[in-house]
Structure 1
Amino acid sequence: MKLIGNIRSQLELWENRKEGIPFEEVYRFLHSLKGTARTIGLIDLGNVTENLYEQLEKEQQQVWDWAEIHTFFHEIITLSKDKSVEKATILIVDADAALLVSLKDFLEAREFHVLVSTELEKAMDTFYNVKPDCIIIDDTLKDEQGLHLLHHLKASGQQVLSPVLLISANDNRENRLAAYRAGADDFISKPLDLEEVFVRVTRQVERKKQYDELLLVDELTQAYNRKFFQSAYSRMLSNLARTKESFSVGIIDLDNFKSVNDTYGHLVGDIVLKGLAGFMKKHMRAGDVFARYGGEEFAVMLPRTSVEQAEKLMVRLLEGFKKQPFMTDIKPFTCSFSGGVVEIINENTTLDQIMECADKALYDSKKNGKGKISVYSFDQKLNRQKIKVAVVDDDSVVRMMLSEIIRKIEVPPNKELDIQVFEDGQSFLQSEWIQTKDQFVIILDGMMPKMDGLEVLQKLRNDKRDDLYKVMMLTSRKSERDIQKALLLGADDYVTKPFKLLEVEARIQHLLKRVM
């Protein structure tokens, strides 16, 4: 979210500033934050900001240092941690659209992000694109058995680490045994007790998190290990092959680490390793990967990041880490690291090849004085991929508001958004703008003159280019039947009116990620 990013950026600027921070600057920042937080639905943040604003008006201090800023803004710092990245993602696959709606709403009210599908093929596509933390499958999907989804996943050769809960109206012994033999982790009989579903889903998600930590996390530093990094790299290559979206990989190495061990001992050396991992995990972006690659060498993976952006990010992290003191019985000291970054633009590049390139850049950093970040560049450049976003709604205010939200969404440097608005479904379908092979995200109002949203959705799903469209329906809270029909027709998501800006922004971002 842009506001959260602005808060973090401002606090980071203050933290790195050497001179004092004028009162007027603090006052302007808090005044702006107070006016925005509640407007976009951040009620808790708005309340905290209001209280701080009242305190600030009584302050007479003209110059602040970082320690005072950090203490004063402590509650805002806590609240501005992006909770959305911590939400577990649940995929529900069921032919019963009414059940999908009720289960989706129930779980999302309890801090899960929920994706739904009524079809096996669409569920498979979502699984590979999103890698959900838990899958809930009905054992009957139209003409297919829900167990087939598990068989498809196993046949693909891909290890299925996401736990699977099978739900069924048939609770006999043979059906339960068949579910477990097919790979289900749990079995729940209908009619569903929603509280029980929530408890059992939460249990599976927490267990998956524990397994991930045991299998894929370095014991000393709690950073990811090489095995996880290799798996993450394979996923990023698959994404690159599908979307042509480049990413960057870096390798960093602690400077003079042998000297640290020789001077202070290996226990202090371990503290430095843990300190570096903790600093990087705290200050890297959501979605970035940090892993211990061996000894004092660590690897980073930066999705949707050009090599120029990667260099700036790594330099900022380096400068921040150099200020971290390590305390010993002898004297406090600081450390630095050297690094090399490289952009991956070819899906046929192996991890060994890319790490060799990054290592060459790392060597340049070491050779040129250490405490530096160097770049290994390829001459080849990727063309920017166009993603078309349509807002189809007969309400001009809604069209304007949604367009503004979309324009503020940040996209990778090799992507660009082409946003168009339409006041009815007929003008949208007849426009030349959609007669291309680009990827589309379509926000579609359910009730419109000339042609309603459901009719437009049906025509899109009957189009031979159906796989290019991700569709989010805007519906009334009273139109549960329309929601069910939209899901059966192939809507990828829906939002009920009146909606919260934060909710719409988050859902549009999720749809954009699925076409990038």
Structure 2
Amino acid sequence: MSNTNLEGLKDSKSVSDRDARILRQGRKLFIREFEKQLKQLDLLLDTIQMAAVADDLKQFYRIVHTLKGSAPIFGYVRIGKLAEDMVRAWEWTQSMDIDGEELLMAINPIIESSERSIHSLREMNMEYEISVTEIQMDEQQDPGGGSLLGSMKSRLLLVDDDEVLRNYLTRRLQLDDCIVDEAADVESAMKLLREHTYDLVTLDLMMHPQSGYELFEFLKEDPTLKWLPLIVLSGRNDLNDKVRCFHLGADDYVTKPFQYEELAARIYGLLKRTKNFEQLAFRDPLTGVFNRRYFDLQIGMELQRIERYPAPISLVFIDIDCFKRINDSYGHHVGDLVLQGLAHLLQVNLRSTDLLARFGGEEFVIALPNTTVEQALATMQSILNKVRLNAVAQYEGQTFSITFSAGVAEWHEGMTVAEWVAKADDAMYHAKQQGRDRIVSALEEDEETEHRKLAASPQIDKKNLLIVDDDPILRAILTSHLEHLPITITHASDGEIALGLLHDNTYDACILDGMMPKLDGFSLLSQIKKDPRLTVRDMKVLMLSGKKKEDDLAKGFQMGADDYMTKPFSLVELEVRVRQLMNIV
């Protein structure tokens, strides 16, 4: 580049810097004058409301008309818009003869114009405060303005039906580097709370049509929100209100009017305390990611949310390949560096909504909300490729590279967390068996396992067991204890249902409760033994009864029962008897 061009660029930059400096100075001068004008407008409006005279009206109009033109020049568009609204409100004063005081008192627009101006002046005062803060931050040449709250980088929800106050707080908090969402009523707040994750909520008590107390109940009932920090902002300095709010779970109570600096300090204190608690209770001290305790707590909440608002979610189980060799060869301090390096690499390549936790040793788990198993496989394959290409740790000039094996399982309705984790863990183990350094889905693992089973063993026809009992808990216990046997289990909740099943299907054995509604066990047993279509099948019957009378025992055997047990009974003994009746080795 020629010297002429360089000099041209320097001159251009010099002019630009000079213009910016002049604009900053002009803004400061404007704000100083604006402060005086606001005081004049407040005094004039008070005077006009008490006794309107022509001079006061003319002066009020002149000031707002001046602001309408000058404010946008210095970048204060919002102030200019508010001034324009007031110019419209008082425009009628420019087209009427308003020299007589009696005439003024009879002019109706005075009341309406004054009411509109009160609202606009209130917003102007807030704009003034924001502008002063912006100038102070600019002078400090610090984007955070030295604010402690700015260091938290938090997302807040403001719930208040006062639009002016809400807008003011939003702009002030945004200057402190907060992400802020607003809600004017409880319903809107509930919708936002379902859609986003917040670090803190501020709540006004007196709102329409629902009061702030309605939101307390919503937060209390949702396990994912019950620990969310909450500050109540209220115009009532009432002891009963304060006590009630603290009992309902409020973390702080601030009475209006308040100074913004005080509210910002209270928000900062709450956020800092919450984050410190999280670090101590829910973070793995070595890697900084969440620990097993937090994962167990959060994943249960996530599944409760999915049950209300269905969406896919996948789980990844990760194990570092040959990690023991690293510890044995280089020492545990190097192993710790590798764990920290992998945790960091995982964190920076996951979404903020994903849940990463150290499960134990060299194992990590990741929950991926709104993610199918196919999407999770693609995500993890991308991360594994980056792990292969980049060293995760360095010690005394030596770099350390690793690979990992991972299993992926998508959650399905009815699956417990333990079953879900086990499926992902099994898939990870299968990845290890295939040679490590790969991602395997539970679907692939299930299919290959099934193929191996089919190839290794002949097909065995399962035997059929019918459980007839009106106690759903007992049926569930019996099924849980017997389902590992090579049998198919069918339930019937009363004798009539069981009789219908027996006519339509073939069963090798039946566990039959003696006492049931509609058709009791003994009556059903009698019909079974009298019906030639049923007796020819040679179905074995095990009677259950809560009575220990010898007569009932004898009656059961006389009617054709093959075995008899009284409640309560040993589940181990029950399994032995079922095996004998069904001839299961």
TM-score (norm 2): 0.46
Q: Return the match for 2:179 from 87, 93, 113.
A: 113
Offset of 1:144 from its aligned partner?
5.0
Confirm whether residue 187 of structure 1 aligns to residue 244 of structure 2. no
Q: Is the 8 A contact 1:154 1:160 kept in 2?
A: yes
The Cα of 1:338 is off from its aligned counterpart by: 0.6
Partners in 2 of 1:177 and 1:329 — Cα distance? 59
Which position in structure 2 is the counterpart of 1:315?
381
Q: CA deviation at 1:295?
A: 1.4
**Aligned AA (1:206):** K
Q: Equivalent residue for 1:274? A: 340
Residue 213 (str. 1) matches residue 213 (str. 2): no
Seen in structure 2, the aligned counterparts of structure 1 residues 321 and 297 have a Cα distance that, compared at 3 Å, is: same
Shift of 1:190: 0.8
Deviation of the 1:245 alpha carbon:
2.3
Match runs of 1:141-290 below 5 Å: 141-142=207-208, 145-155=211-221, 160-290=226-356
Q: Deviations along 1:20-77, whole A, 9 cap, x unmatched?
A: xxxxxxxxxxxxxxxxxxxxxxxxxxxxxxxxxxxxxxxxxxxxxxxxxxxxxxxxxx
Task: Return the alpha-carbon distance in structure 1 between the equivalents of residues 175 and 397 of structure 2.
Answer: 53
Partner of 1:341: 408
Gaps in structure 2 of 5+ consecutive residues: 1-151, 446-585
Tell me the secondary structure at the aligned position of residue 402 of structure 2.
coil
Q: Deviations over 1:166-186 (max 9, x none)?
A: 111222444433333332211
CA RMSD of aligned residues (A): 2.8
Considering fraction of residues, name the structure with more strand.
1
State the alpha-carbon separation in 2 of the partners of residues 275 and 199 from structure 1: 35
Q: Give the conservation status (yes or no) of the 8 Å contact 2:315–2:424.
A: yes
Alpha-carbon distance change, 348 to 97 in structure 1, aligned in 2, over 3 angstroms: farther
Residue in structure 2 matched with residue 11 of structure 1 by the alignment: none
Matched, 1:302 2:363: no
1:179 counterpart SS class: helix
Write the letter of the residue equivalent to 1:342: A
In 2, Cα distance between equivalents of 1:135 and 1:97: 16
Match of 1:324 among 383, 391, 398: 391
Distance in 1 (alpha carbons) for counterparts of 2:300 and 2:384? 27
Looking at structure 1, the residues matched to 201 and 416 of structure 2 have their Cα atoms a distance apart, in angstroms, of 31
Q: For residues 259 and 396 of structure 2, what CA distance do their matches in structure 1 show?
A: 59
| Aligned ranges 1:436-515 → 2 under 5 Å | none
Distance 1:269 1:110 in 2: 40
Please tell me whether the aligned partners of residues 327 and 333 of structure 1 are also in contact (alpha carbons under 8 angstroms): yes
Aligned to 2:298, the other structure's residue is in SS state helix
Tell me the CA shift for residue 293 of structure 1: 0.8
> In the superposition, relative to structure 1, how do residues 286 and 146 fare at CA in structure 2: closer, same or farther (>3 Å)?
closer
Say which SS state the counterpart of residue 342 (structure 1) adopts: strand
The amino acid that maps onto 1:141 is M
CA distance in 1, matches of 2:331, 2:302: 39
Q: Assess if the C-alpha contact under 8 Å between 2:185 and 2:209 holds in 1.
A: no
Aligned to 1:478: none
Distance in 2, matches of 1:325 and 1:155, equals 43
Change (3 A) 1:109 1:221: same
Equivalent of 1:139 in 205, 218, 228: 205
Instruction: Give how far 1:311 is off.
Output: 1.6
**Distance (Å, rounded) in 1 between the aligned partners of 2:306 and 2:238:** 45
How far apart are 1:128 and its partner, in Å?
A: 4.1
Residue 378 of structure 1: how far off its partner (Å): 8.7
- Counterpart of 1:181, as a letter, is H
Show the counterpart of 1:376.
442
Select the structure with the greater relative contact order (CA < 8 A; seq sep ≥ 6).
Answer: 1
- Name which of 404, 420, 428 aligns with 1:362: 428
Change (3 A) 1:245 1:174: closer
Distance 1:347 1:117 in 2: 34
Q: Kindly provide the amino acid, as one letter, of the partner of residue 249 in structure 1.
A: L
Shift of 1:117: 2.6
CA displacement at 1:305 relative to structure 2? 2.5
Partner residue in 1 for 2:57: none
Are residues 177 and 279 of structure 1, via their aligned partners in 2, closer, same or farther at CA, if it must alter by over 3 Å? same
- Following superposition, the deviation at residue 242 of structure 1 comes to 4.0
Q: Report if the CA contact (8 A) 2:354-2:367 is conserved.
A: yes
Report if aligned partners of 1:237, 1:347 keep a CA contact under 8 Å in 2: no
- For the 8 Å contact 1:131–1:162, the answer to whether it is kept is no
Amino acid at match of 1:99: L
Q: CA deviation at 1:285?
A: 3.1
**Contact map agreement 1:134 1:205 (CA 8 A) in 2:** yes
Alpha-carbon distance in structure 2 between the residues aligned to 1:261 and 1:243: 44
Change in CA separation of 1:326 and 1:174 when aligned onto 2, cut-off 3 Å: closer
Contact 1:136 1:167 in 2 (8 A): yes
In structure 1, how many angstroms separate the alpha carbons of the residues matched to 2:398 and 2:257? 66
1:94 touches 1:117 (CA, 8 Å); kept in 2?
Answer: yes
Q: Is the 8 A contact 1:238 1:347 kept in 2?
A: no
Cα gap change, 1:227 to 1:126, in 2 (>3 Å): farther
Q: Report which stretch shifted further, 292-301 or 347-356.
A: 347-356
Change (3 A) 1:289 1:162: same
CA distance in 1, matches of 2:297, 2:186: 25
Name the structure 1 match of 2:126. Answer: none
Say which SS state the counterpart of residue 377 (structure 1) adopts: helix
Q: Which residue of 2 aligns with 1:96?
A: 162
| Higher mean C-alpha deviation, range 358-367 or range 143-152 | 143-152
Deviations 1:242-271 (A, max 9, x none): 443212210000111122222222222222
- Residues 224, 301 of structure 2: 8 Å contact kept: no
- How far 1:133 sits from its partner (Å)? 1.0
Q: Is contact 2:392-2:400 (8 Å) kept? A: yes
Amino acid at match of 1:194: Y
Give 1:91 deviation, angstroms.
1.8
- Greater C-alpha radius of gyration: 2
Instruction: Give the counterpart letter for 1:339 in structure 2.
Output: A
SS of the aligned residue for 1:371 comes to coil
Give me the whole-angstrom Cα distance separating, in 2, the residues matched to 1:266 and 1:185.
Answer: 43
> What SS does the corresponding residue of 1:167 show, helix, strand or coil?
strand
Give the superposition deviation at 1:274.
Answer: 1.4
SS at match of 1:150: helix
Residue pair 1:90, 1:132 contacting (<8 A) in 2 also: yes
